[in-house]
Amino acid sequence: MSALPFRRKLPIGIQTFRIIREGGYYYVDKTGQAVDLAERGRAYFLSRPRRFGKSLLVDTFKELFEGNRALFTGLAAESRWDWAQRHPVIHLSFSDGVLQSRAELDRRIAELLHGNREALGLPLPERIAPGDVTSNFVDLIRQAHRQHGAPVVVLIDEYDKPILDNLSVPDTARQMREGLKNLYSVLKGADAHLRFVFLTGVSKFSKVSLFSGLNHLQDITLDKRCATLCGYTEHELKTVFAPELLGLDPEEIRRWYNGYNWLGEGVYNPFDVLLLLDKREFQPYWFETGTPTFLVKLLAERQFFTPDLSQVMAMEQLIGSFDVDEIPPEALLFQTGYLTLRGREEISRAQWVYTLGYPNREVETSLNGALLKGYGVPDRPALATRLQLLKLLRNGDAASLRALFHAFFASIPHDWYRRNELAGFEGYYASIVYSHFAAAGLEIRLEDATNHGRIDMTVLAFGTVWLFEFKVVELVPEGRALAQLQARGYAEKYRARGEPIRLIGVEFSKVDRNIVGFEVLEA
């Protein structure tokens, strides 16, 4: 009789390195990469989506520089680190709570600086007012260096959260930006007193705003050497969590939670993985922890064609940073984790074009469900339509799809059209249809390439291939949608599957605000 595999506790929601190491929890060893960074440079910035292990990484650096060797027994860092050398660590985190004014931010900063003084056993400055953030931070760094006899390590977690929490109120977001800029501007001038600086957050703000005083930081967000610094690789998942994977479909785990990429090896979302291993069922765990209300509103205002989200082309400057006054949707989608890198191409010397797309099924399904509401679709009709859609596809009932979507568009309140310009956006109706299919969790291929052109949307569901072509009748003559599918022989790409193939030409009218043509042909 074989022995049962040894099982540890799952570190769900635990961001403290000491608790994980002393409490019998699973730990994916990132300490070797942490040592690499510490040896390679002195000041870094890393952007990763929320709940991706940034806080645990910051706390790992804290324990490393404080020289707590016992916590690293058996880990990669144990044999590589100089444990005789210890450094005072200043740790600032803005992860707790929501700050809604500059005054609240200044108080929080004062509390953080005071807490670090106490932790390091430093006296209060005699001639600096508590509200003078810049002078207090400078004094804290200098005193820590002088009293401890070693240069200081500064770790700042969720450096951007006070701004992101207020993006829907631009004036407040600007005030937060200026308050944080005052704090962070200290770091460059304090270089002589610093051994290591590490800032992490969700977003990267432009160098002319928040980062104007931090141009000495190395941005490792898209450094392939750091691609797996947060998140779990395929190997880490299979080896560290092997006892927990029994009974779960590895391909399904990969499809739902893998796919995040920062120019290196792809990684799984750690938050999703841990909750899956605990609850033993597939759910959009990560997505449900933060509804992207601001993002949905922004995409609707910019009339973003939602099928394009599966393949967005952008220059590095467009995805690399943004500011309160200028927020490219591509940058926000990428930095918040709703899109990830699919590839890049150097079109000329030092000019790179990046391809972005959904990381996995969880994000594609959940985000499209949220986008429907932003595009004027009430929750109940949207859910009813998705359920009926799945039923019709399962039964192979293509003819009834027209009635389903016609009734659905008719259910959108007239008052919504009156108050919004989206109905005049030529991609609006195709976006709605696509988002319903995506929100239903179906396998979809958009702009599906063939040797004769690109199919608008391919859906592979319930043993049938569904090929869709969308047209707006005010822009092209009626009857062109199905004709294009036939003329270009799009069905040939899928003949070898041996499954039924249905061609569906869908035509919309911006005047009628509904489907006016819906033709089906068995290919």
Dist. CA 103–CA 114, nearest whole Å: 17
Q: What is the pLDDT of residue 422?
A: 66
Can you give the three-state secondary structure of 359-428, one letter per residue?
A: CCHHHHHHHHHHHHHHCCCCHHHHHHHHHHHHHHHHCCCCHHHHHHHHHHHHHCCHHHHHHCCHHHCCCH
CB of 448 closer than 8 Å to CB of 457: yes
Same-domain pairing of 415 and 473: yes
What CATH number should be reported for the domain holding residue 478?
Answer: 3.40.1350
Is residue 218 assigned to a domain?
yes
DSSP-derived 3-state class of residue 258: coil
209/323 Cα distance (integer angstroms): 7
Asked whether residue 12 is domain-assigned, the answer is: no
Do 79 and 202 sit in the same domain of this protein?
Answer: yes
Last residue of a domain, one of 186, 209, 226: 226
Is the same domain home to 317 and 463?
no
- What does the alpha-carbon distance between residue 494 and residue 430 come to, in Å, rounded to a whole number? 23
Least confident interval from 165-179, 290-304, 421-435, 486-500? 421-435
* Counted domains in the chain: 3
389, two tokens: 């859609």
Alpha carbon 26 to chain centroid, angstroms: 24
Domain-embedded: residue 391:
yes
Under the banding of pLDDT at 50, 70 and 90, the label for residue 5 is low
- Least confidently predicted of 41-55, 279-293, 296-310: 296-310
Give the residue numbers spanning the domain of 86: 29-226
Domain co-membership, 43 together with 189 = yes
In tens, the pLDDT along 389-400 reads: 999 999 999 989
Contact at 8 Å (CB) between 108 and 94?
A: yes
Of 322, 327, 325, 329, which is closest to residue 171 (Cα–Cα)?
325
Among 215, 277, 214, smallest CA distance to 248 is for: 277
d(CA 506, CA 469): 6
Closest by CA position to 10, among listed 229, 200, 279, 264: 279
Q: What is the pLDDT of residues 92-115, one digit of tens each?
A: 999 999 999 999 999 999 999 999
Element (H, E) at 313: strand 312-315
Q: How far apart are the first and last CA of the chain?
A: 55
Residue 219 pLDDT > 50: yes
- Mean pLDDT computed over 305-328: 86
Instruction: Tell me: do 75 and 202 sit in the same domain.
Output: yes
> Quick one: 142 and 60 in the same domain?
yes
- Judgement on whether residues 206 and 308 belong to the same structural domain of the protein: no
Say yes or no to pLDDT of 3 above 60.
no
Core vs surface per residue 169-184: b (16+ CB within 10 A) or e:
eeebbbbbbebbbbbb
Q: Is residue 184 assigned to a domain?
A: yes
118 φ, ψ to 5°? -65, -45
Return mean pLDDT, the chain: 92
Res. 339: pLDDT tops 80: yes
Domain assignment present for 252: no
Please name the residues in contact with 372: beta carbons below 8 A apart, sequence gap of 6 or more: 382, 432, 435, 436, 439
Q: pTM for the complete prediction?
A: 0.92
Residues 320 and 353 in one domain: yes
Residues 384 and 305 in one domain: no
Residues 399-440 have pLDDT tens digits of: 899 999 998 888 877 666 666 666 667 788 888 899 999 999
Cβ–Cβ < 8 Å for 467, 481? no
Same domain, 189 and 45: yes
Question: Is 46 found in the same domain as 151?
Answer: yes
What gap in Å lies between CA 493 and CA 482, rounded to an integer? 17
